[in-house]
Each structure stands twice: as C-alpha cells, then as structure tokens.
Structure 1
Amino acid sequence: MKYCLQCGSEYQDGVKECTDCPGSALVDAETVSQRHIAVHSEADTRKFVRAAVAEDPLTAEDFVALLEKERIPVFCRPRRTGSVDMLTTGALEPWWEIMVGEEHLAQATQLLAQEKLRLDETSDDAARAAEEEELETEATAPPHSAL
C-alpha cells in the first residue's frame, strides 16, 4: 500500500498520485510513520499542545494559515465565545488557543512569535496613518459656524 504525504489517504501500489491532493507524492507506510502523518486506517494518536493565543478570530485565522503553509498540524479552539462569558464566568482567557502537534511546538512557537511582531508593527502603522488622516480632515474641514 501507498499513502498520500499530504492527507494520508491509502492507495493501491499502482497509483502514482493522490486524487484529492494533485501533485502530492505517494509513499510507503514507513515514510508516513516517520513524518507523523496520520493515515485514514489508523487512529490519530497525535498530542496537540498550545503554541500561542489569539485575541480575535482574524488573528487566529492568520496564525493557522501560516502554520498550515509550513505543513505544521494545527487547529484552533475558542476559549470563550463573547463578552457575556467574561461577565458570567469571570474568565479572562484569550479568545483562541492555537494548538499544534507536540513535535512541532518549537518551530510553531518561533513562527508565531515572528508573525505576532509583524502584525503588531502593521497595526501601529495603521493607527498612525489613521491619526494623520484624522488630523488632515480636521485641518481642512470648514468651521462649524459655516455649516
């Protein structure tokens, strides 16, 4: 039997390419096991640990996309669903936990730290630009008495 490197689907030996993942190589079971890829015929026993947190769903999506691009097994789970949870439970946990395969924790942590710095720099630039635009608008707006 051969298995897809990307999704873990099982194929007969004569098949050359995964039908679900065009271009993905098919390899033997030993190679799949070495790379910690779950195959459909086996139970998934991977252990996932928290690599980061995100304060909003958009940041969580960005983090997940980054890790998926690097082929790191990832999922995110909500820690709270809204402001009512904070009022009723007192939980001040972040919005989303970014969970990765235990064996990828170091790499994922490093990537996510770099992405967080990039996002922080971008938000600072956006805030400065918004303030400058607001000052320009106030400077060119007609006086209230003219309205």
Structure 2
Amino acid sequence: MTANSETTDVEADQGLSVQSSPVAGEVLGALPPSQREAVLTMAASMYLHSGPLPDPETLAAYDAIHPGATRELLNGARDNRRHRHEMERRIAFTARLSLVLTFFLMLAALGAATWLGANGAPWLAALFGVAGIGGVVATMIRGGGNWTGNTK
C-alpha cells in the first residue's frame, strides 16, 4: 500500500476528504494512522464565515434548538439596519442645518458690523466683523464639525 492509498483508506473509513495535492499526500502519508486521522478531522472541521448574519446552515441549527430564532435574528438585523440608516440621515440633516445656521449667523454678524460702522462705532464694528468671519475661518482651518461622533 502506498502513502496515497493509505490516505484514501483513512478518508474513506472516516468519511473525510481532503483536496488531493502531492504535498498533502506526502505529509499525510508520513504520519502514523492515528495522527493522520486527527489531522484529517481537524482539516474537515475548519470553517470560516464572514458577514453580518450567520450562514444558512447555522441559522437552521439555531432554529432547531430554539424555534423562531432565525426569524428573531433576521428581524433584529432588519431593525438594526433601519436604525443605522435613520441615524445616518439625522447626521446628514444636522450637518446641513449647521451649515445653514452658520451662514445666517455670519451674515447677521457682518450686517451688525456694517450697521455699527455706519453709526459711529468702528471698534465694535470691527469686533463683530472679526467674530463673523473669524469663526467661520477658524472652523475651516480646524476641519469642521465632528458630526459622526468619531474621535479619530
């Protein structure tokens, strides 16, 4: 019996399979049968899933343990998505509202500065003018508001 045929026998006996490659056959063939079985079992039991929800097999297993669990998980994911979208809409609205209010506040400060300058209060007019423009410029230099809550 060659190493490859021994591997095939172990695979057939245990209901296990491994993709055939020359390196895998050599490595598995060099192992004693008990270790070969353990390696094949470990290789067969490795599993990786990535995503917001479990895969269908896992969902079915959850439903077998707790009937209705799949429906609860799907409803929770849907509710979470709706909440996240609503929060993103609110953040976008807040950012737009902030820009509009800042613009009108700047116009009011510049209007007050113009009125004060025309009515004989140049120092106060300069103060309002600098405050009206300076606040906007400082915000632009600083990088604007942090509307998302991220601190990075």
Higher relative contact order (CA 8 A, sep 6+): 1
Whichever of the two has the greater Rg, that structure is: 2
Q: TM-score, normalised by structure 1?
A: 0.30
- Higher percent of residues as helix: 2
- Higher percent of residues as strand: 1
